[in-house]
C-alpha cells in the first residue's frame, strides 16, 4: 500500500490497530479509521503529566515511533486529553466489531483449594490462615436452577488449581447443564493434564481461561506463577489446537515490573491465537509475600485495556472487579476504555469471602451493579454468548507479522 502524502501509511495504522486483519477484508475500514485516529491524535500535545513521554502518537516526522519507543509505551502512560483520545479510539474500534453490546457471564467460584503457590494470590497453598472449601454439587445446581440472572449468557466455573474439584464437581455439573444448550460454558481451572482438558470439552465446556500474568520468564519464576512459563504456554497452545476458545491475561503493576516487561508480555499474548485477554491491576493480597507492596495505578491499567482493544479488536476483553477495588468507578471506566465482557458473581455469599484472590473484603459485582455499569457506559447487554461469538471468528495466527515492530 502506497504511503499518503502526510502521516503514516494506513498499513502501519493497520498493524497498530488490527495487526493486518485482511482475512475479514476490512482494509477499507482501516483507511477510514486510520484517517480518523491520525487526525485526532496528531492534535494532542505532550504536556503536563505526559511531558516525559511522547504522546504525540503520530510524530512530527510523520512516522510511528521506532521499535524501542513502541506506541504502546506512550499509550500506557497517557493521561488527560491523550488518555481520553486513546479510550475513544478503543471504544470506536470495539463498536465497529461488536456494536454497543457487552457480553454478560456469571461466575461460580466452586473451590479455593490450590496446589500452586503464586506470590500474589491469597489462595496460594502456603496460606494456612485461609478457610478452604469445595462447594457441594447440589449447591452449584441450586445456583444455576434458582439464581441465574436472565442477562447471563455464559457460565464460568472457577477454582484454584484443584483436580479434585475439577473431576468430582465441575465435570458432572457441566455434563448436566450442557444438555440444555442454553448457556456458553467456560472454565478457569489452571494447568492440568491434557486428558482433563479433553474430558471438560467432551462434557460441553468451550471456553478456557488460563492467564500468564507475566510473559517474562524470570519474573514468572520469582513470582512463583503456576508451574513454569514454558508449561503454561504449552497448555495454552494445546487448548487452542484442540478447539477451545482460550482467554489469557496479565497483571499490571506487579512489584518491580518494567514497561519493557509489560510490552513483552503483550507481544507474547498477541502471538497465542487467543479469543480474549484480560488485564488486572495488581492488588496486594492478604496472606501473601506481597501484602505490603503498592497497588497498581488504575489509569495505567485502563490504558492497557485500550491497548488490548486497539491491538486485537476481536478479542473478548473483560472488565474485572479488581478495578473497583482501586476506584469505585473502575468497572465503568474499563467498559469506556474498550472492554466488552462483564461478570456477575454467583458464588453463594457464605463462601465468597474465602475465595480470596486479593483480600477477604471484596467488591462483588451483582446483576444490578453490572447492568448499571453497562448502562452508564452507554452500552447494552448482549443476547449472545461470548464463547459463541469467539467461535465465529477464524484464527489469525497465520496472518500475524513475525515482529510487532511497525514497518
High-pLDDT (> 70) share of the chain, %: 79
pLDDT of residue 326: 86
Segment 399-405 shows an average pLDDT of: 34
Of the options 3.90.1150.10, 3.40.50.11540, 3.20.20.70, 2.60.15.10, the CATH number for the domain spanning 100-398: 3.20.20.70
Q: What is the pTM of this model?
A: 0.82
Segments of the chain assigned to CATH 3.20.20.70: 100-398
The contacts found for 33-39 with CB under 8 angstroms, 24 or more apart, are: 33/92, 33/93, 33/96, 34/8, 34/10, 35/10, 36/92, 37/13, 37/89, 38/7, 38/8, 38/13
Alpha helices, DSSP H only, in 108-226? 137-146, 163-165, 171-178, 194-203, 217-222
Neighbouring C-alpha atoms within 13 Å toward the C-beta of 132: 14
| Angle made by CA atoms 76, 78, 84, in degrees to the nearest 5 | 120
Report the C-alpha gap between 89 and 271 in whole angstroms. 23
**Number of helices and strands (H, E) in the chain?**
17, 8
* pLDDT tens digits along 328-341: 899 999 999 999 99
What is the reported pLDDT for 180? 87
Q: Residue 325's pLDDT is what?
A: 87
Query: Model confidence over 198-231: pLDDT tens digits?
Result: 999 999 999 999 999 999 999 999 999 999 999 9
Residue among 148, 55, 46 at smallest CA distance from 105:
148
Pick from 284, 388, 283, 373: nearest CA to 337: 373
Give the mean pLDDT of the chain: 83
Amino acid at each position: 500500500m502506497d504511503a499518503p502524502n502526510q502521516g503514516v501509511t494506513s498499513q502501519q495504522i493497520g498493524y497498530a490497530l488490527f495487526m493486518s486483519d485482511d482475512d475479514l477484508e476490512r482494509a477499507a475500514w482501516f483507511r477510514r479509521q486510520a484517517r480518523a485516529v491520525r487526525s485526532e491524535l496528531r492534535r494532542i500535545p505532550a504536556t503536563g503529566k505526559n511531558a516525559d513521554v511522547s504522546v504525540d502518537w503520530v510524530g512530527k516526522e510523520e512516522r510511528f515511533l521506532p521499535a524501542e519507543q513502541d506506541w504502546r509505551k506512550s499509550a500506557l502512560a497517557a493521561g488527560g486529553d491523550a488518555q481520553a483520545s486513546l479510550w475513544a479510539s478503543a471504544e470506536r474500534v470495539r463498536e465497529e466489531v461488536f456494536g454497543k453490546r457487552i457480553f454478560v457471564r456469571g461466575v461460580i467460584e466452586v473451590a479455593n483449594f490450590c496446589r500452586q503457590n503464586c506470590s500474589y494470590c491469597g489462595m496460594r497453598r502456603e496460606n494456612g490462615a485461609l478457610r478452604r472449601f469445595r462447594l457441594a454439587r447440589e449447591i452449584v445446581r441450586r445456583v444455576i436452577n434458582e439464581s441465574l440472572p436472565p442477562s447471563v449468557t455464559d457460565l464460568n466455573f472457577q477454582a484454584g488449581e484443584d483436580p479434585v474439584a475439577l473431576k468430582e464437581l465441575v465435570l458432572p455439573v457441566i455434563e448436566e447443564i450442557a444438555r440444555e444448550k442454553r448457556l456458553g460454558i467456560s472454565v478457569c481451572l489452571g494447568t492440568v493434564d491434557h486428558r482433563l482438558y479433553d474430558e471438560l470439552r467432551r462434557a460441553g465446556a468451550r471456553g478456557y481461561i488460563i492467564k500468564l500474568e507475566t510473559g517474562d520468564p524470570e519474573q514468572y519464576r520469582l513470582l512463583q506463577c503456576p508451574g513454569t512459563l514454558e508449561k503454561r504456554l504449552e497448555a495454552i497452545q494445546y487448548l487452542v489446537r484442540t478447539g477451545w476458545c482460550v482467554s489469557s491475561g496479565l497483571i499490571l503493576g506487579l512489584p518491580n515490573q518494567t514497561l519493557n516487561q509489560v510490552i513483552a508480555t503483550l507481544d507474547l499474548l498477541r502471538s497465542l491465537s487467543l479469543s480474549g485477554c484480560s488485564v488486572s491491576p495488581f492488588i496486594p493480597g492478604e496472606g501473601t509475600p506481597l501484602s505490603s507492596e503498592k497497588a497498581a495505578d488504575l489509569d495505567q491499567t485502563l490504558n492497557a485495556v485500550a491497548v488490548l482493544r486497539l491491538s486485537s479488536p476481536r478479542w473478548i476483553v473483560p472488565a474485572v472487579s479488581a478495578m473497583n477495588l482501586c476506584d469505585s468507578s473502575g468497572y465503568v471506566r474499563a467498559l469506556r476504555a474498550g472492554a466488552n465482557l462483564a461478570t456477575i458473581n454467583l458464588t453463594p455469599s457464605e463462601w465468597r469471602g474465602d475465595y480470596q484472590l486479593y483480600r477477604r473484603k471484596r467488591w462483588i459485582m451483582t446483576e444490578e451493579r453490572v447492568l448499571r455499569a453497562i448502562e452508564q457506559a452507554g452500552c447494552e447487554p448482549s443476547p449472545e454468548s461470548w464463547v459463541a461469538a469467539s467461535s465465529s471468528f477464524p484464527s489469525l495466527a497465520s496472518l500475524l507479522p513475525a515482529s510487532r515492530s511497525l514497518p
